[in-house]
Amino acid sequence: MKFTMQREALLQPLSQVVGVVERRQTLPILANFLLQAEDGNLSCTGTDMEVELRSTHTANVQQPGRITVPARKLVDICRALPDGCEIVLEQQDSQLLINTKNSHFTLSTLPADEFPDLEQAENLQHYQIKEGDLHQLLERTAFAMANQDVRYYLNGLLLEKKGSLLRAVATDGHRLALADLNEDVTGGQEEQQVIVPRKGILELLRLLEAGDDEISLGIGSNHIQVAKSGLTLTSKLIDGRFPEYEAVIPPANDNEIIINRGRFRTALQRAAILSNEKFRGVRLEFSPDAVKIIAHNPQQEEAVEELDVQHSVPTLSIGFNVTYLLEALGALSTEDVQLKLRDANSSCLIVEPGSERTRHVVMPLKL
């Protein structure tokens, strides 16, 4: 194998793929990229056996071939080389030679045949979707995924296709985030429901950009696959039953508050400074035309923030984890947000005024 590329052209696919390569592996081959040079293209693949990412870029291929090389070392070398330089990569026996005009490196390799191939993603139902829409759908929900929860099915995000609607739902048992796509999704089956693991979702968030470019979303019984120009991410799915999330969403009620999202966030951030570091609790006290945000900690310190708001809530005091409130507010984009409450023992529903396309549910905290 031998090919030549400009530094920036080579660094782009390597940087896109290196995120899936774990720093600690049980198999040495998982620390490597699979490089395949053929037909004027370089294909770079990385995997952790759960998520596979492949990026393809044009290259001057003098001799086709395939080999695996240490991923992070190759990325670090390319980043350290001067801008605009031309890099020649050549396989020589069990080594990869990396040469520029003034720099020369030799990397050890492992046979390409040993590189794990993610089970073939078969029988995928393909949907066409705007890249920015999918990014926004995930961005508004991914923060609520559990992390290393024993309920393994919570360590991911539910993607649900119902007719022309695509919905994303995530929960860690203490809060829930739901978002619906605001445009019809065409193609594929009428109904599908799958759980995408946390790492696959985080990689998609890293790779997807805002924009109207069409991308392909493939959903199967065991895999999900997202393909955009020159980039394909394939992820295994979590085999489990997602909770009946619709039962968690509070029904409509008369206790509604519309509040400026920016002012509410900054007030919560200030109060959080003196909240209990373990429980992160703050208390919201509603009175006519105002809401107080109160935080205490074991050192007998206190923070009080008061905001003027118009609301229909009777006198009410309710506690929440301030981090959950802040993350829910951060995932919305409107100037104002609407809080819907029933009583001190019921969940709070946070939506954008006039729209329930995105719904965030936060469980109350006893303080």
Could you read off the pLDDT of 205-249 as tens digits, one per residue? 999 998 889 999 999 989 999 999 899 999 999 999 999 999 999
* 183 vs 85: which has the higher pLDDT: 85
**354 in Cβ contact with 171 (< 8 Å):** no
How far is the C-alpha of 57 from the C-alpha of 203, rounded, in Å?
19
Q: Is the pLDDT of residue 100 over 90?
A: yes
The predicted pLDDT at position 169 comes to 98
Domains of the chain: 2-114 (3.10.150.10), 125-246 (3.10.150.10), 249-362 (3.10.150.10)
* Distance separating alpha carbons of residues 2 and 66, to the nearest angstrom: 10
Residue 111's pLDDT band (boundaries 50, 70, 90)? very high
pLDDT cut 90: percent of the chain above it: 78
Mean pLDDT throughout 73-95? Answer: 95
d(CA 287, CA 307): 11
Mean pLDDT of 1-18: 95
Amino acid (1-letter code) at residue 329:
L
Tokens for 296? 């205490």
Which of 291, 294, 279, 282 has the alpha carbon at shortest distance from 339? 291
Query: In 18-161, which ranges are continuous DSSP H helix?
Result: 71-80, 131-139
Mean pLDDT of 242-267: 91
Provide the β-strand partners of residue 320.
Answer: 282
Backbone angles phi, psi at 132, to 5 degrees: -65, -35
Residue 185, CA distances (Å) to 125, 128, 229, 363, 366 in order: 12, 7, 20, 32, 41
**Mean pLDDT to the nearest integer, 8-31:** 92
Each residue of 310-320: pLDDT tens digit? Answer: 777 788 899 99
Across the range 144-149, mean pLDDT stands at 96
Three-class SS state of 84: coil
185 pLDDT band (50/70/90 cuts)?
confident
How confident is the model over 42-56, as a mean pLDDT? 95
* pLDDT score, position 22: 87
* Percent of the chain whose predicted confidence (pLDDT) is above 70: 98
The whole model's pTM is what? 0.91
Q: 327: closest CA among 270, 265, 278, 282?
A: 265
Q: How confident is the model at residue 119 (pLDDT cuts 50, 70, 90)?
A: low
What are the tens digits of pLDDT across the range 320-358? 999 999 999 999 999 999 999 988 899 999 999 989 899
Structure tokens belonging to residue 340: 């819907």
Tell whether the model's pLDDT for residue 264 goes beyond 90.
yes
Amino acid 54: pLDDT: 96
Average confidence (pLDDT) over 1-10: 96
Mean pLDDT score of the chain: 93
57-79 CB burial, b ≥16 within 10 A, e <16: bebebeeeebbbbbbebbbebbe
Q: Is 177 left (phi over 0), alpha (psi -120 to 50) or beta?
A: beta
For residue 305, count other CB atoms closer than 10 A to its CB: 18
Which two structure tokens, joined as six digits, stand for 235?
Answer: 């992820």
Confidence of residue 191 (pLDDT cuts 50, 70, 90): confident
Strand-pair partners of 96: 91, 107
* pLDDT tier for residue 25 given thresholds of 50, 70 and 90: confident
- Kindly state the helix (H) or strand (E) to which residue 316 belongs, with its residue range: strand 316-321
Residue 69: enclosing H or E segment and its boundaries? strand 65-70
Tokens representing 230 are 């020159």
Q: What angle do CA 123, 45, 206 make, to 5 degrees?
A: 85
